[in-house]
Amino acid sequence: MKMTVTPGMVSSLQILKESDLPLPLRLVKRGKVRDVYADGRYVYLVTTDRISAFDVVSEQGVPYKGCALNRASAFGFEKTKGIVPNHFISVPDPNVTVAEAYTPVKVEAIARGYLVGSAWRQYEKGRREFFGTKLREGLIHGQGFDSPLFTPSTKADAGHDVDLNTWQDFADLVGSEAEAGKIRQYTLDLYAAGDLETRRHGGLLVDTKFEYGRRGGDGYIGLIDEAWTHDSSRFLRFADYGRLMEANAPPKAWAEAWVDKEYVRTWLSENGFRGEGKMPAIPDEVIAGASNRAVGSYEMVTGKPLPAADPPTNERIAGNLAKTGFLK
């Protein structure tokens, strides 16, 4: 099925804004994008069609976003299980991942291959040291680093995440030097693996974020949450990257080219929203653009079209969980 969404289609497409699943599944958390359920054995991550920007959730949803993200993560977890253990058990429904319950480590582990986003904004203001790496003078927006940077931040329960600047702060938050070292190395290896997959399909993984947790039982550090998605990563097509760098195009000119959430962030920030006050209504044209980017990022990382699915309803999800024996 060809998944391209046009602005005129937006209002007629079914979206999953909030899930509602029956007992014995208990809702333990509504995150910005995922609803998390537990049954004492596993956790059930329902990736909805919600979109957040600057840590605020929009009242609107993005068609196909939930299933595109859920399937991209499933692909990422499968591809990288030899690099780092992860929580993944199965995908019984296009929007659901069944996973082992981990205790989240409260850091966001970010790897960056290129000077864009907040790193660029800080570099432009004169910052040269990024979590122990010194950048040279004269870099331009979008320039690739000699080797990818690891730039962790806090994972705030509410409000905004804050950059961590020293190894000590990072290790203290993680809980031990040895685990902090593991998280750094896993993150750089997972970034490299994602970039390789993306390059095989004509794109670049510009940067990406991971979350880790401690596994019940042995407390071993593993990868949780999501992997290589539209929300956690920035993607570009090679050709667009080449064209933008050749023109030394300003960050604004990159807005259309992002195959990820940066597209929506840029639209909001150009329309006066950076996280404070009420989020403006996002026009259907931008919602359609976001949908095509969510699906596009899945295709760029996997090299495959997103499998077709029935409209994402609670009935479909409960039915699929029952069929696969997770809901009795």
Ligand X SMILES: Nc1ncnc2c1ncn2[C@@H]1O[C@H](COP(=O)(O)OP(=O)(O)O)[C@@H](O)[C@H]1O
List contacts with ligand X (CB under 6 A).
29, 31-34, 36, 43, 45, 87, 99-102, 104, 211, 213, 224-225
The answer to whether residues 235 and 203 touch, using CB atoms and an 8 Å cutoff, is yes
Q: How far apart are CA 215 and CA 87, in angstroms?
A: 8
Rank residues 111 and 227 by Cβ distance to ligand X and give the closer one: 227
Rank residues 63 and 222 by Cβ distance to ligand X and give the closer one: 222
Neighbours of 190 (CB within 10 A): 24
Nearest residue to the partner ligand X, using Cβ: 31
Smallest distance from ligand X to CB 243, Å: 32
Neighbours of 117 (CB within 10 A): 18
Smallest distance from ligand X to CB 207, Å: 16
Q: CA quadruple 166, 168, 173, 179: dihedral positive or negative?
A: positive
Cα separations in angstroms, 292 against 43, 246, 258, 260, 279: 29, 26, 11, 9, 21
Rank residues 34 and 141 by Cβ distance to ligand X and give the closer one: 34
Smallest distance from ligand X to CB 156, Å: 9
Smallest distance from ligand X to CB 10, Å: 22
Give the 3-state secondary structure of residue 266. helix
What would the two tokens of residue 166 be?
């020293």
Smallest distance from ligand X to CB 191, Å: 19
Rank residues 231 and 299 by Cβ distance to ligand X and give the closer one: 231
What would the two tokens of residue 159 be?
């409000």
Rank residues 141 and 234 by Cβ distance to ligand X and give the closer one: 234
Rank residues 58 and 236 by Cβ distance to ligand X and give the closer one: 58
Cα separations in angstroms, 79 against 245, 252, 306: 30, 34, 17
> Looking up tokens 């079209």, which residue turns up?
305
Smallest distance from ligand X to CB 87, Å: 4
